[in-house]
Structure formats: structure tokens, C-alpha cells
Structure 1
Amino acid sequence: MADEDSDNFSELSYDFFDEDLNDDGTKDNESDISVSPLSTPDNSPENSSSSEEESDDEDLAWRSVLRKPVNKTFSESVGATFTLDAGQNELDFFMRFFSEDMIKLLVTETNKYAEQCQETKPDRNWKDVEMEEMKAFLGIHVYLSIVQLPSYTLAWSQQWPFGSPSIPNIMTRSRFELLSKYLHCNDVTQNPPRRTPGHDKLCHIRPVLDYVLNKCVENYQPHCEQSVDEGMIAYKGRLSFKQYLPAKPTKFGIKVWERASPRNGYCHEFQIYTGKVDREKTEEGLGERVVKDLTRKIINKGHHIYMDNFFSSPKLFSSLFKEDLYCCGTVRGNRKGMPEGIKSCKLKNHGEYKIMQKNELCATAWKDKKMVFYLSTNCDPNEKITVQRKQKDGSKKDVPCPIIGQQYNKFMFGVDRADQLRMQYSTCRKSKKWWKYLLWFLFDICVVNAFICMKESVNHVIKTKKGREVARTQLSFRMQLSRQLIGTYRGSRKRKSKSNIDPSGLAHWPVKHQKRGRCKQCAIDKKRHDVFIQCKQCAVFLCIDNNCFEKWHSK
């Protein structure tokens, strides 16, 4: 059994100043998005002079006179939008995100897909799955996420001490493998062919994807601070929209854009990246489009959005400011719209920084170990702090730092915290089907979000006998959820081992055989004894002198 976890996660380090940044603040291999070749500029005097005038006007708008941006005060209520009584358990919270309707959908589509397969390749072992059996199947997956084994088959192993004493009594291994084989979420025969209008790359998982996304949004009111970042679902098989991100811990897989809360790791919205819409053209403004999609439902409420330099741009920050969304993040020094005074500044001393402002938008260049560039519409540029940096001799030195650096490090890790919670006990099992990785990704999001809601519920506070509050852990939540999903379901075996004891006691007689054979009971006792005596009904050789005949028929 896995050791009990603690949800007091150590604060994630976001000392991005140690990253391998170029002199202009960009990161190598930042994203898999390709950049189309720049068109040849028109060198005519008229176009050249007009572009220079626009550039000069843009730079004149940036000033060194600094003032605090005026932000709308955040006054929205935060937390779960539903309240459950103290008598309701982990399964009730989970059902708020993955309801009975979703389980019915899995049952219906699994039976339909199995029926379609029977037409081409009959399987005499298959029988239709029912609701209780599907719940038990999901419960076993939650169990396997806690008791993590090199191979799931070890849960049914009869070799002591590797096998589980309970799982074989709930469902046989062959039945578990059959359900895994025929598991389905949607009828893909209704999906138009590839490269035709209306084709959905995520058709296999679409009903579950849309349902879970809506439930994540409606079940929780977000905190003021939100972070937007990319995550990865590990997958190395063949897939048209599989991504390679060398800077990520998970280098190959399916990319997911996420918006999550740095306060607790709740995942509010997500978007699966399926590649370019037009295969012939590179999508322009991808980062800007993603941020706007993920924040569309929280505009005009005064939220603060944190993002990294893949998404940040002066144009995006100015646009979101008009919708009362205030942003903060690192930015690439050569990003379009950045002031020339920031892009070209050469800072030599450790801790030196320069800030320029245009309306409510502040651009900052700070010299840490390398040059770091920031954009913000929610930080006071006049506020100064110091941070500690370790020197070569091991001592620590106070270094001046703009307040935006502290804010970014404090609230940027929401998506990483959500991924940390999700992958701590992953229910995903190895599969040849790419969409099953997405299914278990959605299932884990439901489990983690349900756990966060129950942890914050005032009616479900855990207290000791002395009245001291104890933090609820994801381990205990998953243990209870697994039991409640399995419930009282017990699948019957197809064949039961026959007993050697004859009810009438008359059919088992020793007879002499023409050839000699090894005693079966002696073989069990790690001995070798060849005899001519054989049981007439069992058709096995047994000793009479060593009481093997009696021992064999007594078990």
C-alpha cells in the first residue's frame, strides 16, 4: 500500500531566472509551434518612412514616469457552488463531476461497440456490462492508482505476497481485460471522414470531454488569482497532434492548455490542442487566442491572470485590461510592441532594473543571473523589494527586485500544482488507444476537483478526539472512493475448481496401471515417488504406502 501522502505540498520553485534564457529573454525550444517565414518587406521610401513613424509613435507612448495601475477590486465569492450534508461521502462529491449519466454513457457505448465487434469477430466470453459492474471497474482503477504495480495483472497474482486478496473476488482478470478492451465513450461511426467538414479529432472522447469541462466550470467559483499554462498527457504512440516539448518533464504526449488556481490546484478550464486548423498555414497569435478562450467566462470580474512568456504580449495585456482582467508574466524581449528602451537596455549590476509604462501597462527589464523581461497591468511599479541570492562562497546576498518578480513567483504555479495532484495517483494504464489516455486524464481531474471541494467543505472537516482539525489527504479520499464505487458488487467466476472429495464416497478406487507414473501428492510435497497405483476416477497416480491416496482425496 502506498504511504499516506500529505497535501501540504512544498512550495514549487519558480526561480525561472536560472533557466537557459538567451540574451533577449527568449527560451530555446519554448514551444512546438512553427514560425512561418517572414515576407520580404517593401523597401520603397514611402513604406519605409511610414513604418518608422509608427515605430517612433509607439516608443513615444512609453514613459519612465511611473504610477500604480488602477484595477477593479475583486469582490466575487469563491469556492464550491454546491453544499453537501455531513452524511454525504466521497462518492457524492465525485458524482458532482462524473455523474450517473456519464457511467450510463460508458455502459451504453461499451455494449454497442462490443456488439459491433461481435459481427466481424465473435467473442463467446463477452456479455453485456451493467451499471454496478462499470462502477466496480472504475473503482478497481482507483485502487490500482493507489497500489501502483509494474503490471496490473499482479493484482490477480496467486503468488504470495504480490496478489491482492480482494480484487479477484470483485472481478476476474479476464473480465477486467474484456471491459478494458471494449470500453468506449462515443459512436465514432457517426464522425465524418478526415479532412472533411465537420470531422472531430476528439470524437472518441467528445461527450465526456464536454461534460467534465462544464462541470469543472459550474461547480467552483475561481479565486482572484488564476494561472494559465500548458500541460502534457504522456503518450508515445502514433498520433497526428502528438507534441514534443524538450523542456518539459513529459517530453512526448498530448498538449493541454489549462487554467487553474494557485491557491489549491483546482482545474477550472482546459483545452486539448489538436494541431493547426489549416495544415498549410501556421496559426498566428496562438498564445493570445488560448488565453482569451480560457478566460472568456471570467471577464469583467477583476481576476488577475498569470502566464509565462509563450503567451505574454503588450497587445494581449492591453486587450484583457479593457475586460477587467489584469495580467502579469514574463515576456520575450523581442516581442512585438515592447518599448525600445527595454529591449535595448544593457544592465550590468546584479539586481539593477528598468521600468517603462504606457497607460496601465508596465514593461520591466531586470538583471538577475541573466536578463529577465516582464509585463504587468496589476503591479505597482514604484514598489521595491529585495530577494536573496546565494553567492559562490555559500553566503546569501540581498538583491533589489521589482515587485512583479515576487508576484509572478507566488501565483504562476497553479497549473503545475493541478498536474502534481493529478499525477500523484494516476489512474491511467498503458493502452494502444490514444483517447483512453484522455479519458483517464478527465477521470483524474474529476477525482482531484472533487477532493478539493470536500477538503474545503465546512460540513466535512476531520477532527481528532481532542477537537483538533486534521487536513484531509488525497490518499484517504481515493481509498474511500474506491470502496464506494465497488460497493457490494462481486462478479461470479465462470468456472469453479472441482473438489477431490466425492459426495457419495464410492467412485474413487485404487487400481493397478500397466505403466508406472509419478505420485501426484508426492510431487506437491516436493518428493519423487513412482508407483503403479492410480485413482480410477481422478486418473492420477497416488501412493498407498505413504497415505498419499487419503491426503489427495481429503482436500
Structure 2
Amino acid sequence: MATSDKIIERSLEEELFSNDDDVLDSNCSDVEVDIDERHVLPCDSASNSEIEGDEEADLVANSQQQSSTLDFSSDDDVPMCELRSRPRKNNYFGKDRFRWSSTPTSSRARTFQHNIVQEKEGVKQGYKNVLNSSSSPLDIWNQCFTDDMLEIIVLHTNEKIRSIEPKYTKQVCVQDIDLVEVKAFIRERIICIMSKNRFEVLLNVIRFDDSLTRETRRETDPLAPISQLFNYFIKQCQEVYAIGSYACVDEMLVAYRGRCRFKMYMPKKSAKYGLKIMCLMDARTRYLLNAYIYTGRDSDGLNLPIEYTRLRKPTQAILRLISCIEGTNRNITTDNWFTSIELANCLKGKQLTLVGTMRKNQREISSEFLPSRQRQLESSLFGFTSHITITSFVLKKKVVVVISSMHHASNVDEASKKPEIILFYNETKFGVDLVDQRCSNYLTGRRTRRWPLAIFYTY
């Protein structure tokens, strides 16, 4: 009996297993056989027969939640919830969510189109017959400060002389001035052509504009006493010489402590007090190409289109200076007072590029580019957009942040360990400062209470 019972039990067990296989095959007849294991959702070890009521609903909800959080990428199977908690390594974001990519947008080795300057550097065609390698400094000065400009001085100085002539008993000292005497007065050959009394009279009476219409012109032009001569000089500088591929922008300070409503205090300058002149110069030859005298907050955007008034004042200053080189693919080097993403975008529309240091409080800079104890000394970090590159270099206890729309790669010099962008900035940033230094070393000015004379002595 025991043996027969075991046989019956074994047959029932085989029948049970054979029925389960049939049901399983019928339910899975439409399912693909080659299913990747990564796509299989985890499930509970219990069978469907053991799940009833609310427990079954909970399991279905859990399965849907697990399927929505799985990452079906070909690289790994990490849930998205874990990926969100990890820091992004391929992008950097500024305070205003400005995005920098850690990889360059292009790896092309050839020179970019926006770095090719078509205009040849040097003396322009119309002046090559009078200026060459044998020309003296005086010959060059004569082309930038022409006789027509000196005639303006002669005209208005004689007007002043005639107005004060009745006050002098010695009429020799108040005779009309001519072109020869003006050149002697400017070029320090005074002793050969005039007496001391005559020289002192000319210092007092020299004028550069019409005194009768000055007050009317001052209502719209604060620089009325000197603006005609100054603008003539800048125009002549642009006509004589073509600068190279790289220019720089900065301010000069003409020393002056007299009375003037737009006198500036600049503690970092040696003179500290004076008149600020914004300059655009060749970064290599230090040739002055464009400049304007700063007369107040609204003077940076003077003569610019009305839509530029919403831009930052430093951006307006650059746009006013680069009007003579728009569309030439040249590069502009600026310091951190001028440099911004806004400026880089504006110059791109003018077919110019920008290289400059940035202040670290600008909202486009990501926290990864700012000073941190975790960063190693002389380490570099790069970020890229479609046309701007940012680099952060650790130098001792500070970090230098530079942006460039001219460079598009993370090149670092092996000897100095400095990025190529910073080396380029160091080579091209000193143009205006060197000219300011030379003007102080070879000083031609004299003490005066008249600010137009202070500017005239500088140039």
C-alpha cells in the first residue's frame, strides 16, 4: 500500500508540473525571446497566487515607479535619481545659469576666419611718399599735427592778442603770431626766435577756438575750447597709419589740479588728479588710433545709436572707440573694468574679437572658476560656448579669470604652465600704460590753470 501511494503521488506531481509548463507557454507565445537582461524589471519572489488585494496594487505601483527611474542607456544601469545627485562634469553654470561646456566646440587646427585681418599694417598708401624708414620724429609729427591744425591756433590766438593789445605799453610783445612762431613755440626752439616776455604772453593768450561762440557751443559740447583741434588730431592719426591685428583699450590720465567740472581722481595713477582720456592703441607699436576725453557719465555713449544706451557704460566706451576698425577681424584687449560677456557679444556683431580679464563678481562666472582651496597651484580650468572661451588660472593665493572670443582651445604653455589666453593677454595689455609712462618721462607740458592747455601739452 505504501508503494502504491508513492506511485500515485509521483504521477500527480508530474501532471501538475506538465500543466504549469503548458500555461506558461500559452501566455508567452507573443513575447520576443531575445530580451536584454538590462531591460528586465525586478519583481518580488512571491507568485501571483500569493498576492491579493492591496498588496497586488502596491506591487504594480512599485513596478511602475522602478521602470520610470531606470536608465536604459548603453553605458550603465544607474537610476536617474542617483544621477541627479551627482555633480555635472561636462557643464559649468554661472549664477544666472549661463552655461559653459568643458569641451571645445571645435577642434579645427586652422586659423579661424574671424582672426584673419585683411588690412596691411603700416603707413597708408597716401603717405608712403613722405614717410619711410629714414623719416625723423619731426616728419612723423608733422603728418599727425598738420599746418592746417596750426593755422587754427594762429587764427584764434591772434583774436585774443588783439583783444588785450591796448593793455600793453610795449607793443612788441603783443604782435600777431604766425605759423613759424607757433612751430617754434611748440617745438621748444623758443630762444632762437622770441624773448622771454614774448613767450610768457603767448602762454597766456594761446587759444584753440572762437571765444565769441564758445559759451553757445558749451551747452552741447563741454569740450568746446579744445574739441575742434582734438578731433582733427584723432582724424589725422587714423588717416596716416593702419594698426596691426591686435589693439588695446585703456584710460590715460592727463595731470591737472585746476578747476574743471570733469576732473577725475584716480588713485592708481601716478598723477592721481587730472583729465581722463579713453584710448584705442596698437598693442605692438603703441600707436594712438582713436581717443575721446571723458566728460561725465553720459559721454561714453556719445554719438552712438539710441539702442546702445541700455548697455553697460564700459561697453559703450568700447563701441565708441572701435568705430574706426569695425569689420576688420582685429582683436581688442581690455582690463576687467571693460570686459564682459555683453561686450564679447557686441564685438562679435562688429566682426571683432575680445580678450580680457573679468571681475569675479560677474554673474556669468561659474563657482568652479573662482578661488577655492581644493584647486592646485598653477592649475587651469576651461569653459567654452559657441564663440567664447573662459579660463581660470590659480596664481599663488588668487585666481585670474580671462575670457576670449579669439581662442577656442584649452592650450597651456608647458614652460610657464599658463594658458595661451593669459600669455596673449600679458603681451597685448600694456599699450596705453606704456604710452602714459613715456608721456611722463618725456614731459613737454608746463604748469597751467587752463585745462585745454593741459590736453594740448600732452599731444
TM-score by length of 2: 0.69
The one-letter code matched in structure 1 to 2:243 is P
Identify which of 431, 437, 441 aligns with 1:414.
Answer: 431
Look up the match of 1:173: 196
| 230, 245, 250: which one aligns with 1:209 | 230
C-alpha distance in 2 between matches for 1:123 and 1:311: 56
Correspondence for 2:78: none
Q: Kindly report which structure 2 residues correspond to 1:148-227, keeping only aligned pairs within 5 A, or say none.
A: 168-192=191-215, 197-198=219-220, 200-227=221-248
Which residue in 1 is equivalent to 2:183?
A: 135
> In structure 1, what is the equivalent of residue 117 of structure 2?
74
Per the alignment, residue 80 of structure 2 pairs with: none
Deviation of the 1:402 alpha carbon: 1.5
SS in 1 for 2:327: coil
CA distance in 2, matches of 1:283, 1:175: 52
Query: Does the CA-based 8 Å contact 2:253-2:274 persist in structure 1?
Result: yes
Contact 2:95 2:363 in 1 (8 A): no
Kept in 2, the 8 Å contact 1:305–1:325? The answer is: yes
Deviations 1:327-379 (A, max 9, x none): 11100011243345435765532112221112111122221021111111112
Establish whether residue 248 from structure 1 lines up as the match of residue 276 from structure 2. no
Give the 3 Å change call, closer, same or farther, for CA 368–271 of structure 1 in structure 2.
Answer: same
- Write the distance in 2 (CA, Å) between the matches of 1:300 and 1:254: 31
Residue 250 of structure 1 aligns to a residue whose secondary structure is coil
- Structure-1 separation of matches of 2:144 and 2:394: 46
Residue 270 of structure 2 aligns to a residue whose secondary structure is: coil
Q: Does 1:116 align with 2:163?
A: yes
| 1:215-259 alpha-carbon deviations (Å, 9 max, x no partner) | 011111110010111111111112111111112222111111111
State the distance in 2 between where 1:210 and 1:56 align: 42
Distance 1:123 1:313, change over 3 A: farther
- Picking from 293, 304, 311, the partner of 1:272 is 293
CA–CA distance in structure 1, aligned partners of residues 143 and 365 of structure 2: 45
Residue deviations 1:474-493 (CA, integer Å, cap 9, x gap): xxxxxxxxxxxxxxxxxxxx
Alpha-carbon spacing, 1:60–1:204, altered in 2? closer, same or farther (3 Å): closer
Aligned partners of 1:309 and 1:329 also within 8 Å: yes
Superposed, which structure 2 residues align to 1:303-318 within 5 Å? 303-318=330-345
**Are the equivalent residues in 1 in contact too, given 2:355–2:405 (CA < 8 A)?**
yes
Question: Which residue number in structure 1 is paired with residue 412 of structure 2?
Answer: 384
- Give the Cα–Cα distance (whole angstroms) in 2 for the partners of residues 197 and 204 of structure 1: 12
Q: State the AA in 2 paired with 1:379.
A: H
AA aligned to 2:141 is F
**What residue in structure 1 maps to residue 68 of structure 2?**
none
RMSD (Å), alpha carbons:
2.7
* Alignment-derived partner of residue 357 in structure 2: 330
**2:258 equivalent in structure 1:** 237
Asked whether 1:435 is paired with 2:435, we answer no
CA distance, structure 1, for counterparts of residue 421 and residue 149 of structure 2: 43
Distance 1:225 1:88 in 2: 25
Counterpart residue type for residue 128 of structure 2:
T
The sequence identity of aligned pairs, in percent, is 26
Displacement of 1:267 in angstroms is 0.8
Mapped partners of 2:423, 2:185: distance in 1: 46
For normalisation by structure 1, the TM-score amounts to: 0.58
- Asked if 1:63 corresponds to 2:86, the answer is no
Q: Equivalent of 1:83, from 112, 128, 131? A: 128
After superposition, residues 262-411 of structure 1 pair within 5 angstroms as 262-277=283-298, 285-343=312-370, 347-369=374-396, 370-386=398-414, 388=416, 400-411=417-428
| Gap change, CA 1:292 and 1:387, over 3 Å in 2 | farther
Instruction: Give the Å deviation of 1:68.
Output: 5.0
Q: Equivalents in 1 of 2:370, 2:198: separation in Å?
A: 63
Note if contact 1:188-1:203 (Cα within 8 Å) is conserved in structure 2: no
Contact 2:96 2:363 in 1 (8 A): no
Higher helix share: 2
Corresponding position of 1:513: none
**1:211 Cα deviation from its structure 2 partner:** 0.6
Deviation for aligned residue 1:284: 6.4
**Quick check: 200-209 or 330-339, which moved more?**
330-339
For 1:16, the equivalent position in structure 2 comes to: none
**Are the equivalent residues in 2 in contact too, given 1:365–1:371 (CA < 8 A)?**
yes
Q: Distance in 1 between matches of 2:95 and 2:275?
A: 42
Superposed displacement of residue 59, structure 1: 2.8
Offset at residue 417 of structure 1 (A):
2.5
Task: Extract unaligned runs of 5+ from structure 2.
Answer: 1-92, 300-308
| Structure number with higher relative contact order (C-alpha < 8 Å, ≥ 6 residues apart) | 1
Q: Which runs of 5+ in 1 are unaligned?
A: 1-54, 144-166, 389-399, 443-555
SS in 2 for 1:62: strand
Distance 1:322 1:122 in 2: 60
Aligned residues: 346
Aligned equivalents of 1:384, 1:137: Cα separation in 2 = 53
Change in 2 beyond 3 A, CA 1:284/1:248: farther
**Per-residue deviation, 1:65:** 1.5
- Residue by residue over 1:406-460, the C-alpha shift from the partner in whole angstroms, topping out at 9 and shown as x without a partner, is 0100111111222234333221111111110111122xxxxxxxxxxxxxxxxxx
